Amino acid sequence: MDSGKVLHRRKPDFPLIRPRATDKNQHQEVGVKSIELSKVIRLLEDPLTANLKDRHLFVLKKLLKRSQIGFLLKELSVIAKILNICAEKTADHPEFVPILCEALQICRLPFLKEKTSDELNYAQDVIEFLSHMGCLMRVSDAEVRQHIVETVKSLYSCVAPKKMLDGLQPTSPGYRLQLLERSDLAQTLLLSMAALENQPAIRLQLLQTLQILSSSSDMNCEWILKACGAETICLHMNEPDPTGQVLFRSSEILWNLLERGSKEVTAQLSSMECVISLKDAFCHQLMNGVRLSDLQLRNDLLVITSLIAENPNSLLIESLFARQLVAVVTFPELKSHHPLVRNLKLSYNQEDLKMKKLLLNLLVLMSKDSAALQLYKEERVMIALLILVRPPVASSERRSASRQWSPVQQEELQLQALATLSTIAPLLLDDYMACQGNACLLLLLDWCIAHDAFFGQGLSSEGRGSTKTQMRHCIRVLRSVTSLGEESVNQDLCDQGTINQLLGVLMQMEASPDEDDDVTLEIKSDIQLILSALCESDMHRKELFGSEGVEMAVHFLKKGSSSFYSGLGHNKLVLSTVDCVWSCIVGCYTTEDYFLAKGGASLLLDLLTSSPRCAHCNVLATLLELCDNPNTLSHILSWRDISGQTAPRFLLQLWRDEEEELKVIRDKHGGITDPQRPILSHHQQEDTQLSFPANKPSAAVLELSENLRSKIYSIFCKLGFQDLPGLSRKHYVTLSIVRRYLDFKVGEVWEEIIRELSLDGVRPITPDEEVLSTIHKIAEDTARRVAAEQNSILEQQEKEDIAEEELMYTEIKSHWKQRELTAKSWDNYVARTSNYEILKEIKAQREKYTESSKSKHEDAAVHPTQHFIGQVMSIERTGVPSPAGVKVTLARAPIKVTGQEEVGTTAQDPEYFSTVSLKD
């Protein structure tokens, strides 16, 4: 009673709750309300008024009643404090529970703003308010928790605001969602799951809320993962739940987390407890799932397991989950006594098909662990895979007594099993050979060639009736097992006639009128790689490759490299063809000779000129190996490209391009500028201060295999360095370097040895030091002699250029002289025809000359009526170094003058036929 009296006396100090002002006083009352909230806080926290529960409830109800249209942004910080105080009081005073519930219900409405700038100014208050709202989950009352969950879910739905007062506007729909991502509400809700063990209904709603949060934002997923959300969800997914929704919601949350942070999620799910939880969930769904949603959930769990299997630290083997999965993989192809599959029944629907394909994919993912391979052997996985890849039986032979996969489903499983086998077979070669895997694949290849249209109605990417996809995967498996170089496997394939069979398949595909696509090109290149692996180290198999194989290689070489960068796989086909020549033809004289007779060496050179730089190494290496056959050299020397360039000329140009790529120091003519480093590349110059360990090759040795110079040098060693066709002086400068390449390389290696001894602080003994000094001097002297030889070549070239220039000027001068004589002749002719006196004089001279000629040459022929001028017949040098020492002899050439009337024989001017000297 006393406390009531005190309250009565102090009543004016409490916040006054008045009716809202009308239009005129509205803004003023809103300001009053903000001031009153601070008094409400003081009322709730003041020790003197802490026990006035009724007054607290009365004030809070009035406050909530006046906020029915929503909370103001500027009041959220105070409202959050009020809600926290109420949450603390609910433990002793349950009367505050309805207050919290009503406040949370108001939180579903959009927040209110007085000005547009309020959204930005009070953004941090909104973030803190949402974080505090998640902390209210600590209240044990189920009704409060349910309201919190429903309030969070309502943030993602458009709630129509109630009638607004003048001057107030609701915030935009996405405003709260953007700020929710920055708050830790998602993390807080996840952590509250531990307090909901006795409230399954609330826990289910919370999972639904977390599903919404994780599916809407990457930042929400980050908040959940920070609290080990994936592990927490996984550990609680198998708790008793009559509705079956907990497992479904949990898997959806894990899916959302995996889509946004798979590595971190799989790391959390790789613990033993999580793997066992997944195993229990999968086995439960496998044995009890009947509805379509149950089967889909089973497959979702299997996908999550597949992602975990990619983590090398997963514990699938240790948890025995892998053994159960492997047992399910072999069902129903093999009978098993495993308890998991003993009573298992499949519906052979699409969901069961997806499960089977996911299990086959899991075999590939788990094969990285050697312990998993032992499980594959124990559960006879290889037999099950080979059963799946067998050619399908015709519809008339299919068993109708028991349910089984449809033809379309069987095709999908066959393709998936082939893809799995390409990874598993090389790891389980013993099982593969024991199960006659080669024979099974060759039968499948025969079936693909026969083209049984019955089976090609599934998901083959090449369309109905096509078996190209099956052939593609079958060839992939054969390539994977032959690439290991296991002699027993390769011999087994050759004994079954694989070489001739593959050559037939390849040429049959090449004869098809259809254009090449990426699948066809991959099949062709893989077949060539298989042939290379089979024939590389066996002479008898190269003979089996024979003329048919040579015809195939020549055919593909003729196609050239024009489509190298088409993006379809022509680049792989070009390289595999070259590799096929190297492995299947080179080394056997019968096939080599036939290859050369078909123009193989010329085709390799054509390919070398047209292919990009990345293919030059393989082509040059193949050409070099082919040069061991003495018949090859004539083919190389007689080769010409489209522009008429010879092979030596092209190889030397390739050498110059290679040195330019390596940034070797050369002068403008390609000569040596630094005798101490005649062939050193820029990369080697950068490594001069490095010391290499004894078990690692040095830069000078590695350089031999990394560029083309060593191969070009070896080819020239076969061709020789003399009498090479089509070379100019510039190419002879380069040839002088090529000829001494081995000497330069030896000197370079010794220079590295000297440098490394110096870097390691090792001083050789005096005799060794003298030897090293002598070697260094010899290498440098060799470079200087080559440089001098290059200078001599260039000087000779310069002299020849000067002589050619002199001859050119001589010809030009003679041409001008001829033009002068022609002009003079024309002037004489014009003078004769225009002046009668001159004509009479010339006629008299002619008669006199004719009489004198007759007396000297009785049998001389009548002189023609045409004039002659001199042309260059020969050039003689008098030894004078200047152009004046050149003596040119002219020959007669007739010139007909247009319109000239026929006149008597005229005496020709002797000066026209005299020897012309350039001294004049």
The dihedral sign for the CA sequence 858, 860, 866, 871: negative
For residue 315, the Cα-to-chain-centroid distance in whole angstroms is 32
Helix or strand or coil: residue 413?
helix
pLDDT value of residue 877: 57
Those residues whose C-beta lies under 8 Å from the C-beta of residue 367, and which sit 6 or more positions away, are 373, 376, 423, 424, 427
Stronger pLDDT, 295 or 461, i.e. the higher one: 295
Whether residue 857 is predicted with pLDDT greater than 80 in this model: the reply is: no
Q: pLDDT by residue (tens digit) across 479-536?
A: 999 999 999 999 999 999 999 999 999 998 888 877 788 899 999 999 999 999 999 9
Mean pLDDT on 713-736: 91
* Cβ-proximal residues to 691 (8 Å cutoff; 6+ apart), any chain: 756, 759, 760
Position 460 scores a pLDDT of 46
Mean pLDDT throughout 204-231?
Answer: 91
The pLDDT of residue 918 is above 70: no
Mean pLDDT of 621-632: 93
Nearest by Cα to 654 from 715, 698, 703: 715
What are the two backbone dihedrals, phi and then psi, of residue 398, each rounded to the nearest 5 degrees? -75, 140
pLDDT value at 901 more than 60: no
Sign of the torsion angle spanned by Cα atoms 345, 349, 350, 351: negative
- In this structure, are strands 886-895 and 916-917 parallel, antiparallel, or unpaired? antiparallel
Per residue in 576-623, pLDDT tens?
999 999 999 999 999 999 999 999 999 999 999 999 988 999 999 999
- Which pLDDT does position 43 carry in this prediction? 78
> What's the mean pLDDT in 426-446?
94
Mean pLDDT in residue range 170-189: 88
How far, in Å, are 892, 905, 914 from residue 857 at the CA level?
20, 16, 20
Residues 710 and 704 sit within 8 Å (Cβ to Cβ): yes
SS3 890: strand
What is the pLDDT, as a whole number, of residue 424? 95
Share of residues in the chain with pLDDT > 70 (%): 84
Give the pLDDT score at 440: 95
Angle at 602 between CA 601 and CA 603, to 5 degrees: 90
Q: Tell me what pLDDT residue 162 has.
A: 65
**Please, which pLDDT band fits residue 666 given cuts at 50, 70 and 90?**
confident
Task: Please tell me the predicted confidence (pLDDT) of residue 263.
Answer: 84
Distances (CA, A) of 298 to 81, 247, 282, 293: 46, 10, 6, 9
Kindly state the tokens that stand for 386.
């080979």
Q: 743-786: per-residue pLDDT in tens?
A: 988 888 888 888 888 887 888 888 888 888 898 889 888 889 98
pLDDT of the residue at 876: 60
The angle formed by the CA atoms of residues 120, 122 and 123, to the nearest 5 degrees, is 65
578 vs 730: which has the higher pLDDT: 578
Average pLDDT of span 153-175? 78
Percent of the chain surpassing pLDDT 90: 42
Task: Judge whether residue 574 has pLDDT over 50.
Answer: yes
Q: Is the pLDDT of residue 319 over 60?
A: yes
Q: Averaged over 557-582, what is the pLDDT?
A: 91
Answer whether residue 859 shows pLDDT above 60: no
Q: Report pLDDT for 887.
A: 57
pLDDT tens for residues 386-425? 999 998 764 445 555 467 888 899 999 999 999 999 999 9
Please give the mean pLDDT across all residues of the chain: 82
Checking if the pLDDT of 715 tops 70, the result is yes
Give the whole-angstrom CA distance, residue 449 versus residue 507.
12
What is the rounded CA–CA span in Å between residue 831 and residue 326? 117
- Residue 690 pLDDT class (50, 70, 90 cuts): low
- Find all residues with CB under 8 Å of 399, minimum gap 6, and list them: none
If you average pLDDT over residues 710-717, what whole number do you get?
A: 93
